Every structure is written in C-alpha cells, then in structure tokens.
Structure 1
Amino acid sequence: MSNVSLIIEERAADIGNFKVGRLLPFRQKRMVGPFAFIDHMGPAYLKDYQNLDVPPHPHIGLSTLTYLFEGVVLHKDSLGTEVEIKPGAVNWMTAGRGVVHSERTPPYLRSSEKVLHGLQIWVALPKDLEDMEPSFHHIDADELPAWEEQGVKYRLVAGEVMGKRSGVPVYSPLYLIEVKAERDADIEIGSQLFGESALYILEGEVRSGEYVYHPKHILVANDATLCTFQMKAGSTVYIFGGEPFPEERFYFWNFLSSSKEKIERAKEKWQKNEFPPVPGETERVPLPISNLRKET
C-alpha cells in the first residue's frame, strides 16, 4: 500500500527571460509544512549571448533558499550583499518586513556558454516573525552535514532531522534532505521525520508500494512517519517538510503573508518605490497586474 496521498507534476512557468518548472504552490496542496514555493530551474543550456537576468524585485514574509546543482548565480540585495552561489552551497535570504534582490549571471560568464540548474524555494515565516529585520546567510557546500549509509549519500540542506543540524538559520521546525543512491536501495527514515512531508524526484526512479514514480514529480506523504520507499541506482531525491502553521498564507507575486492587508501595503510600497534599493542596480521589476503566484 503506497503512502502517497498526492502527486504534483512540474508545470512550466516563466520568470522573465528564463523558463522554470513550478512545483509549489498547487491548487490541491498550497504548502508542505512551511514550504510555500518551489521552482525547478533548468537544466538550461545558455548560449554565449544568453544570461540569467532577474532585476531587483521585493519579498516579504518569507525566507528564500537557493540551491544549485550546476552553474553560478550572482546574488545582490538591499542589505548590501553581493555573493556568488555555486553548486552545493545555500543562499538563505530572510525577507521579513521587506527586502529587494537581483539574480544574474556573473560578469565573467556572460560571454560564454553556460549551464544553470537548481532549486528556488520559499519558506514561510511564523506569523510572529513575518515583520522581522531582513537578513542574509551564505553556507558553503562543505559546511552542510553530509553522511553515507549503505550506499546512500545524504546531505542535510536545511533544518534539523536524523540527528543532524544544518547551519542554515531556519525559524521553524523543518527539513530539506538530499538523498543520492549509488545502487538500488531501501530508504526507511519515516520514524525520524515529523509534520508534513513530501519527496521531489530530481532524477532516477522511486517505488512506493506497488507504484513506480519518475522525475519532475513531488510525492506528498499521507503520513511522514511512514516514509519508506525504494530508489533505483543513480537516483536523486529531495525530502522536505516540517510543522505546518495554524494560519493560512496568502500569495501575491513575490509577497507571502498571513495578512492580506500586509500584502496590499507591500504592493503600494513597491509601486511608490519605497523599498530599499539594491546598490549598483537601477532596474526594477514592475508590480504585475495579476497574481503570478497563483496555484495551477
């Protein structure tokens, strides 16, 4: 009997000059624990004249997590941060009451062919921290907990679970675990998980009960504590989840909040150019007329 209650398929979405696969939110499952938004970027094979260019845009009420498999992205924000994110590292930006950032191909790669592949994730903040001061943290790949058990490689990208704790400064109980199987393997970790849980298949094949699942799908568990499945050799999955919040979260564009009024104030503030600027940047993404973050 499968422990899968819902299968979410990756859907195409446009983030300006770059196509992504949208995973969350979904009309039947808007959040998994505090995870509110997941985009699968690429793999995109960019020509020497093609680059990632996401101009300054605002966020409120959430933390963003960027995790790359391939490529390099230059992050700049209104806190004065300027840092490159490379494969295996984590960029963790907490918007709180408001932050602005841009994401671009670094100057030294803009005239060469390149690959970009990774995950962009939003994690909702607890209601009492939605207006906290914005902050930014970069955690290098070798700083993340990594271990191997019976031919399976684990890496704890964020949170605390399985007796490990990531250095990413999260604000509620959650976990994001990378699991890579070098050979066919049985995974039985449900007793160590909590809250709501889901699994994203990046590559390979996963079996749960009598069912077989393939890449670009999220499998939402009926019960996190029953998280048992089989992975084919060469498969990579991401298990994520945590304790859900009691309050509903509302979306508009890049804004996430438990309060519709806060979202309306943020929209007005962006239109009036009252968010702090990103040093050295003059472009601004305009406020959309309709909500680009609606569930599909």
Structure 2
Amino acid sequence: MSNIGLIIEERSRDIGDFLVGRLIPFRKKRMIGPFIFIDHMGPTELGPGRYMDVDQHPHIGLATLTYLLEGELMHEDSIGTQQRIRPGSVNWMVAGKGVSHTERTPADLRNGNSFTAHGYQIWVALPSHLEDMAPEFHHIPAKDLPQWTDGNAHFTLVAGEGYGKRSPVPVHSPLFMIQIKTIGEYRLETKGHLKGEIGICVVTGTLEACGEVVEKGNIVVSKVSDSCNTVLRPDTHVLLFGGEAFPEERHIYWNFVSSDKSKIQLAKQQWQERTFPMMSGDHSYVPLPK
C-alpha cells in the first residue's frame, strides 16, 4: 500500500525509559529495528460507493507486510501475483529492486452490503546487500502462524523470531512482530525473549509504562535494547515489533526506501517515465508526488 496522503502527528514524548509517539516514523524515532513505516488502516466502514481501491504504485528497497484485523483485500502485483488476504493471514511482498502493486476490495464483496476494514500496512527495510534482490511474494495463512497462551495473554508470532518460536514468514533480517491480546491484566516480559529494539503499538485498550498510561493509537518504544517491561490492562490488543537496527541510515521518499539516495532518484525517474516494472493488464497509475 502507498503512503499517499500520510499525515504523521509529531506529538512524540519522553516518559522515562520509553518514547511514545503516533505510529512511525515519528519525530524522535524514525525506525524501530528494520521497521520503517506503519500505517493503521481504519477501522472504517466500506460499502456501496466506498471501497478500498489503491491504484498501481511502486516500491523499492523494502518488504511490505499486510496484516488485517477485519475485512478482506485483493493484492495484485507486477510479478504476476493475485492473492486475497483475510484477517490473521500475512501478505509479505519483497519489493527489492522494484515492484508495482494494487490493493483493492475483492469484486465479490462489492455486493451492496457494508463491512468493516481494519488492519496494518507495514514496511520493513531490507539489508543493504539485498536492496536490489529480485521481487518476491509470499502468503502465509493464519493457521500457520505460531500461537500460544501465557496467563491472561494470547500470543501470535506474525513474523520473525521470539519466545523460542519462528514464524514461517521469510524475513531477511533479525526481527519480530507479535500480536498479543489480553483477557486480564498481564505483565509483559521481553528480556531474554526478544532481541534488538522494541516497539509496542496499542491497537485497543491501554498499557502502563513508567507510571504513564498509554492508550490506543500510540506506539511505545523502549530506550533499552532487549528490555521492555510493561503492564497490559484487561481487554488490550497490542502489536509488538522490532529487531536489530541496521548500521546504515535509510532514506525514504514516498514509497521508495534505500541506503543509497541515487537508487531513489533512479526509481523516481523510472516511475515518471513509466519504465519501472509495471503490472500486466492494469493501467492505473499513481503519479509521483510533486
């Protein structure tokens, strides 16, 4: 998905051992491990006259991770993929040297009924030596993701490694993304279970960190690698993500990510000239932002 019209509220604040901000990138923290962009979609009601239609747009230097909580999407791309995604499953598209794609409400859901769309579109930067790899696409059904319960919390390992488990999503650097849902109060322990930088996105409910209450829509970032002890309140839903940070800076322009600014300039030129890899049979086109 494109970050067209993305508005980031730069209201990050320091609460002691943690930073709190509205999604990423935010002012005090541009990346968390290899995660460089998180877009919260909805929850919003779709139906007659209002559907999800993200036209053809490009990516380089990253992998996109689509994770739905409600609703369905049809993904199509320039390497020939056609894949419907449902809640709990993962669409993992590796852009590498260049891929174009669309995401739309499936045709059979445009039937006059209304439904809720809700989920997250996440960008993971690739290691510098893999930024020019050939594009790939992988779909992992919800039933194939590791799940377990600890006390009042139910865990799903969406991607990467953590708590002695590994997700089947074929990631390219040490990272983790974990969904946690609580039925009662739960003290989250990560030391010894996760490696690298740690962020917690509050989907619903609240958590407590450093004596502060953090509510839905915010991300809490631990300042201390490998250590992030917080209390999740009952009926709270969070996404835990992060991993090892890259040694090199990442540059981001629109939908392009790279450690090399010249690659971004080339991608911009190719997209404007329409020499970028394009989809077969889809002539939609999102212009490069001015």
Q: Would the TM-score normalized by the shorter structure come out above 0.5? A: yes
Return 5+ residue gaps in structure 1 as ranges: 10-22, 290-296
Asked if 1:141 corresponds to 2:142, the answer is: yes
1:38-90: CA deviation from partner (whole Å, max 9, x where unpaired): 00000011232210111110000000000000000100000100011100000
The letter for the 2-side match of 1:38 is: I
* Contact 1:158–1:177 (CA under 8 A) maintained in structure 2: yes
SS in 2 for 1:75: strand
TM-score normalized with structure 1 length: 0.90
CA distance in 2, matches of 1:94, 1:4: 34
Return 5+ residue gaps in structure 2 as ranges: 1-14
Aligned to 1:6: 19
Aligned to 2:69: 69
Aligned to 2:46: 46
* Contact 1:50–1:110 (CA under 8 A) maintained in structure 2: no
Aligned to 2:87: 87
Asked if 1:36 corresponds to 2:36, the answer is: yes
CA distance in 2, matches of 1:263, 1:226: 35
CA distance in 2, matches of 1:185, 1:262: 45
* Contact 1:56–1:281 (CA under 8 A) maintained in structure 2: yes
1:220-243: CA deviation from partner (whole Å, max 9, x where unpaired): 101133211111111011111000
Asked if 1:224 corresponds to 2:225, the answer is: yes
Of all paired residues, the percent bearing the same amino acid is 49
Aligned to 2:78: 78
The letter for the 1-side match of 2:151 is: Q
4+ residue runs over 6 A deviation: none
Aligned to 1:255: 256
* Contact 1:3–1:226 (CA under 8 A) maintained in structure 2: no
TM-score normalized with structure 2 length: 0.92
Trace 1:152-171 onto structure 2 (pairs within 5 A).
152-171=153-172
Aligned to 2:195: 194
Aligned CA RMSD, in angstroms, stands at: 1.1
CA distance in 1, matches of 2:226, 2:34: 18
CA distance in 2, matches of 1:203, 1:46: 21
The letter for the 2-side match of 1:83 is: Q
**Larger CA deviation: 272-281 vs 72-81:** 272-281
* Contact 2:197–2:226 (CA under 8 A) maintained in structure 1: no
| Equivalent residues, number | 275
SS in 2 for 1:225: coil
SS in 2 for 1:264: helix
CA distance in 2, matches of 1:224, 1:202: 23
Aligned to 2:10: none
SS in 2 for 1:26: coil
CA distance in 2, matches of 1:279, 1:106: 18
The letter for the 2-side match of 1:244 is: A
